[in-house]
Amino acid sequence: MKELDEIKKLFEESLGLVKTMEDLNNLRTNFLGKSGHLTTCMKLIKDMSPEDKKSFGVGVNVLKDEVNKGIAEKQVELENLAIEKELADMPKVDLTTPTGKEKGSLHPVTIIEQRLGNIFRSMGFTIEDGNEVETEYNNFEAVNIPKFHPARDMQDTFYLNNGQVLKTHTSASQNRIMRKYGAPLKAIFPGRCFRNEELDASHENTFFQMEGMMIDKNVSISNLIYFMKTMLSEVFEREVNVRLRPGFFPFVEPGFELDCSCPYCGGKGCRVCKHSGWIELCPCGMIHPNVLKMGGIDPEEYQGFAFGLGLSRLVMMTYGFGDIRHLNGKDLKILEQTKLK
Ligand code: DAH
């Protein structure tokens, strides 16, 4: 019996030292193999007295069970450790992580539109949606371009069978917005516009504008200049100057072409401003009384300014695109240059 205790102690010690499957196999052989400790013990039985035989036999069997159990448990433990190690050594792959290569990005027009939106929102303007398919009335009559007015020639567009048109300018939404909110009103409305154009590097049949209107009591050209200067300085992230030249648009009186001092050379003259120091950026003016009236606003009480920023043009300038057709093109290499980092 003393031997059994010793074997048990030896087994427990040896089991504690097992680190690998190989160690475990050796242990198994040492205790249960043909000449293992337990097998050798069994051989002693035949020389024992019948009483000793019985108690010793029971003792050996109990120990044998313990040894088998210990080995089996150790085996499970080692197998689990092996799985854990394999998992830990595996390269970490998160299938939900987008890989850099396929990562999408906002379209450059959207990027600039959102930037402008934030600037105007911070100055108290709301951002409105405009329709792409408009009534002929909203696109022309409501902005003081009656039927057969020569201004229509410059804005030939796509006419639908039902008499509606693909809007030629964001000014087409002016009437709807005035009717929706009334005065006072401060809103911008970016949108896609369409014209029947001879296509070239600076003319597309589909392009983007951003219209803005401010209507209130005592609004003057000074307000127009202030907002345009502030907005453009924000857009170009440097102080710019603006100047107004007379320009004709049927829906404003007086109407202007607004030039901005070249943000790239600071007005000294460069390739972008064609060495003039100024860039023609944004037609604008004081809203024509007829337009206010048609929008349901009394021109005796309220005045306002409006502007129509060439969004596509601004995008091209900002990113140095030489051809407007890239903006609707499918060449992702070009569009990806503007990806936000
Ligand atoms: N709608 C004009 C165009 O597309 C641009 C424009 C000019 C808009 C003067 C305005 C404005 O709001 O005041 O040619």
- Non-local CB neighbours of 18 within 8 Å, separated by 6+ positions: 24, 27, 74, 78
pLDDT digits (tens, 9 = 90+) for 137-192: 999 999 999 999 888 888 999 999 999 999 999 999 999 999 999 999 999 999 99
Contact 327, 108 (CB under 8 A): yes
pLDDT digits (tens, 9 = 90+) for 33-91: 988 888 888 888 888 888 888 888 888 889 999 999 999 999 999 999 999 999 888 88
**308 CA distance to ligand 1 middle (Å):** 4
**pTM of the predicted structure, to 2 decimals:** 0.70
**172 CA distance to ligand 1 middle (Å):** 10
Is any atom of ligand 1 closer than 6 Å to the C-beta of 304?
no
Whole-number Å distance between alpha carbons of 242 and 244:
7
**219 CA distance to ligand 1 middle (Å):** 18
Quote the distance between the C-alpha of residue 306 and its chain's center. 31
Share above pLDDT 70 across residues of the chain, in percent, rounded to a whole number: 98
Whole-number Å distance between alpha carbons of 251 and 254:
9
Is any atom of ligand 1 closer than 6 Å to the C-beta of 310?
no
Residue of the nearest CA to atom 13 in ligand 1? 284
CATH architecture of 108-340: 2-Layer Sandwich (3.30)
- Non-local CB neighbours of 200 within 8 Å, separated by 6+ positions: none
Task: Return the structure tokens found at 108.
Answer: 């450059």
Residue of the nearest CA to atom 6 in ligand 1? 308
Is any atom of ligand 1 closer than 6 Å to the C-beta of 327?
no
- 320 or 25, which is more confident: 25
**11 CA distance to ligand 1 middle (Å):** 95
* CA nearest neighbour of 167 among 127, 140, 199: 140
Whole-number Å distance between alpha carbons of 173 and 131:
7
Ligand 1 site-directed mutation target among 154, 168, 169, most atoms within 8 Å of CB: 169
Ligand 1 site-directed mutation target among 134, 157, 225, 249, most atoms within 8 Å of CB: 249
The CA angle 165-255-152, to the nearest 5 degrees, is 25
Helix (H, G, I), strand (E, B) or coil at 200: strand
Is any atom of ligand 1 closer than 6 Å to the C-beta of 261?
no
pLDDT digits (tens, 9 = 90+) for 197-252: 999 988 999 999 999 999 999 999 999 999 999 999 988 888 999 999 999 999 99
**249 CA distance to ligand 1 middle (Å):** 7
pLDDT band, residue 340 (cuts 50/70/90): low
Whole-number Å distance between alpha carbons of 138 and 176:
8
**59 CA distance to ligand 1 middle (Å):** 104
Helix (H, G, I), strand (E, B) or coil at 211: strand
Instruction: Mark out the alpha helices in the chain (DSSP H runs).
Output: 2-17, 21-32, 37-45, 50-89, 108-122, 136-139, 174-181, 221-236, 289-294, 311-319, 332-336
* CA nearest neighbour of 21 among 84, 102, 75: 75
Residue of the nearest CA to atom 8 in ligand 1? 308
Whole-number Å distance between alpha carbons of 118 and 235:
10
Quote the distance between the C-alpha of residue 193 and its chain's center. 24
pLDDT band, residue 100 (cuts 50/70/90): low
Whole-number Å distance between alpha carbons of 265 and 178:
39
Contact 308, 211 (CB under 8 A): yes
The minimum-distance atom of ligand 1 relative to the CA of 308 is: 8
Helix (H, G, I), strand (E, B) or coil at 129: coil
How many Cβ atoms are within 10 Å of 271's Cβ, its own excluded? Answer: 10
Whole-number Å distance between alpha carbons of 39 and 36:
5
Residue of the nearest CA to atom 9 in ligand 1? 284
- Establish how many alpha carbons lie within 13 A of residue 323's alpha carbon, considering only the half-sphere containing its beta carbon: 10
Whole-number Å distance between alpha carbons of 336 and 334:
5
**258 CA distance to ligand 1 middle (Å):** 11
Is any atom of ligand 1 closer than 6 Å to the C-beta of 169?
yes
